[in-house]
Amino acid sequence: MSIKPQHYDLIKKPVITEKATMAQENNAFVFQVAMDATKPQIKEAVENIFSVKVKAVNTTITKGKAKKFRGRAGERSDKKKAYVTLEAGNSIDVSTGL
């Protein structure tokens, strides 16, 4: 297995929130991914980048909502998150970055 440049295009950044940190206790890690990324592509990218074995991938899409920015109407962009569950004995240190 080799790391391909498109793997870094799929996985944008790890999500560091209270909920994501609690998921790490169950060996699940959360990443923001590209909107067109599929579960098999996400699994392959995580396995190659971090050298771990992935058990399951679940994805969610958060729709962007209308907000006001400095009094002007604007729209937040849509986001896709991947919850990646690892096999027992594998771990990722998300604090070091991609």
d(CA 47, CA 3) in angstroms, rounded, equals 9
d(CA 30, CA 82) in angstroms, rounded, equals 6
Is residue 56 within 8 A of residue 85, CB to CB? The reply is yes
d(CA 12, CA 76) in angstroms, rounded, equals 17
pTM of the complete model: 0.85
pLDDT tens for each residue of 13-72: 999 999 999 999 999 999 999 999 999 999 999 999 988 999 999 999 999 999 998 889
Provide the pLDDT for residue 65: 92
Residue 97's pLDDT band, with cuts at 50, 70 and 90, is low
Residue 98's pLDDT band, with cuts at 50, 70 and 90, is low
